[in-house]
Structure 1
Amino acid sequence: MFLQCVFLISSASLISSKWIPERIVGGHSVSIDVVPWQASILKHGSHWCGAAIYSEDIVITAAHCVQYAYPGAFHVRVGSAYTSFGGQVVRVSQILVHQDYDQSLSNDIAVIRLQSSLRLSDSVSSIPLAESSPASGSPATVSGWGAVGYHQQLSRSLLEVSVDIVDQKKCSDSYDGHITNDMICAAAPGKDACSGDSGGPLVSNGRLVGIVSFGTDCAHPKYPGVYADVAKLKPWILKAIQRL
């Protein structure tokens, strides 16, 4: 039977009965200078989701992170390896969620315009979007402040983990055919994203290839982590930015 649960930060944040948005497992602490495109979305002042910096006033995240809230509920923190202090904190001005996003988590992508421009530096930098989806087996990294294991605490400092892109058919078979063309999968033994990492960046070859979306448990040997495929969704992303 195909049945998962969905969390943003914990089970108290249940938004669906099928999927578990993700968090970092098996990773290591990393300086923000190593992943300067990493952002933290704060909801009412507390870390809620990850995001990737596209430009000085645009960040990209998962649709399920922002679908049910108004822009005024959110701030974005950048330039810090911690979600509670440091770096720059800016208000969110506008949010645009993919119009075809649904509870299956297909098209799990959203773009956010900030009220003021970020000051770019070695610790605050944009990342280019992938032109094409990476091949199966390609190395990638995912970062965030999510839980370090299923039903465990969020990390206080930024973590990063190395994974490999998984063949889409193999991933789809693991999820009983529920992987759509706009999704990409990645995994490694004992390594994964987890709750609180949703919306964060999956990076390969210096480009943003995925946005953390969902999974079953965390680092489950049968179920790879699933991400919105940035290359497949790039046309929508670019049009959405123009509309904001």
Structure 2
Amino acid sequence: MSTASVRVLIGDDHRIVREGLKQVLGDPANGLPEIVVAAEATGGQEVLDQVAGLGGTAGLELVLLDIAMPGMDGLEVLQALRTAWPGLPVLMLSTYPERQYAVRCIQMGAAGYLHKSADPDDMVAAVRKVAAGGRYLTEATAQALAGAVERTGVVRSAQQGMPAGVDALSYREHQVFRLLTAGQSVGEIGAQLKLAPNTVSTYRARILEKTGARNDVELALLARGTPAE
């Protein structure tokens, strides 16, 4: 990593978020090395194009990536980045709770997961640590990872066919789960993921079976970490 600056790409479709991040990261009070926003992207494919244009690790130390991106979502982009530029760290940003999404991101190769409401000092600390080759885990993320390890052990010892929870969802099932809990219909999800409605319905049925939820309302409660009554 360059000692002169930490070069960052911000991938987020909300301008107000990008402007806020640039203000936080570019504050001179953050000290040296300076954090420089080298590029911005508003969609998943644009993130990949920008990274390629900058030469991957030759032009960047870090990608700050939102999960809820239009087109390719953040998890798809993360997967593509890890394949094309495995040495380029990715710090995921989200409004989703650590309990459901941090584990998936870390498992897919993210170097950290940070909620968008994080304190600016924590944001800067996360960027510096990840850009230097480390991992940034908040207490909530660490607890989520520990819980996932524990649940994995329970699932392996449980009878076959018992609900296994969100951790047991496949990559595509997790995509559908996220969109369902965001309030999208089967038709809308199919259009976004380029899947037939019947296929989305099949994924939805598998998600309900694996999580033990009875309907979309209970899935939404699960995503927020609120138990269903």
TM-score for the superposition, normalised by structure 2 = 0.29
From the CA coordinates, give the structure whose radius of gyration is larger: 2
More helix by share: 2
More strand by share: 1
TM-score for the superposition, normalised by structure 1 = 0.28
